[in-house]
Amino acid sequence: METNNKNIVRLYDGHAGLMSLELDSGTSEMASRAVEEMDLETRKLPIIFYSRNGSALTRLASFRKLVIDRASLGKGEFLISTDESGPARLNGEPILGSLGTAMFLGIDFELDLAHRKLNIFSPRHCKGSVVYWAKDWGSAPLFIGDTGNLYFPVELEHKRVQAGFSPGYRYSLLATDVSRRLYGFDASSEGVETVTGPDGEVKAHYRAMRLTAPSMEVKNTRIELVDPPGWANGKPSRFRCLLTARNWEATGYSNCGNVVPMYLGRNLLERLRFYFATSERVVYFTLADTTTP
C-alpha cells in the first residue's frame, strides 16, 4: 500500500485534515481544538507527559481508525496538545496535530524528502527485498526507543553515534556533551563557525564533519552544535541524560530512552532516500539521486 504527502489524514468518522510528521518523536499529538471539533473520547493520563515545547500534557484522545490515503493505521490514542499557537488551517485544510513514529511501528514506510513523498507499505515481504528504486543500497540496524522513536548508528568522524531523524531542522544536530567526549571540541572551540544576528546575539554554532554509514559517505556535512538534553543556555538542569555506548557500541543516552545525541536534519535527509522496515528492525538507504556516486 502506497501513499504520498499530497493526501490528507482521515479519522474513522469522516473528519479529515493535515498532520505534521515528527520523525524525531515517538509520540503523536492532536490539538485540543481538533479534539473538541471531532468530539473524540478523552481520558486522563496516569502520569504527566511533557511535549516538545515543554508544556504539560495531561489527557489522551481516542480514535477508532486513522487512515492516510488508502493505508489504515488502525485505532489508537493521541496526546492532547494545549499549544494552539500555530495556524488552524493550511490551504483550506484543518491542521489536526502531529504524527510520531510509534504510529508507524506496525507498517513499513519510505521517506523521500527530495521529492516530498511519504510512501506506506505492508510489512509482509521477503526480508531485504524492499529497495525497488535502485540496484545498490546501504542498510543499518533500526532501534526503537522507549516512546517509539527511531534511531540508527552512524559513524561521525570514525566514531559511532546514535542518530535520529529530524526533517524539521535545516541542519543536522549534535549535542555538545558528545562533541566534547568523542572529538574534544564544543561550541566555543577553535574551528567552530559562530553565526550572530544583527543584534550581535549568537544564534548558532556549526562545524563541518564527515558522516558515514554502511555503503554511504557524506563529506563536509554542516553540523549544528546544541545543548544536551536537560541543559539550557550551556547549563545543566536537575535532570541530565547520561552518556553510554550501547546498540552496536554507538554513543547514546542510558537514562533517556526518547532522545539521542544526534539528529539528521534536512541538509542530509533531502540528499538521501530511506526505507524503514520496522518489522525487520532495519533501515535501508540510498542517495536521493541514485545516478550520483
- For the segment 183-236, what is each residue's pLDDT rounded down to a tens digit? 999 999 999 999 988 888 888 999 999 998 877 888 899 999 998 887 666 666
Domains of the chain in sequence order: 9-104 (2.40.70.10), 133-287 (2.40.70.10)
- C-alpha triplet 154, 99, 171: angle, nearest 5°: 40
Backbone angles phi, psi at 238, to 5 degrees: -65, -30
Q: Taking Cα atoms as reference points, which of 86, 89, 82, 87 lies closest to residue 61?
A: 82
Write the pLDDT tens digit of every residue in 241-270. 888 887 778 999 988 878 899 999 999 999
CA–CA dist 18, 118 (Å, integer): 14
3-state secondary structure (DSSP) of residue 115: helix
Answer yes or no: pTM beyond 0.75: yes
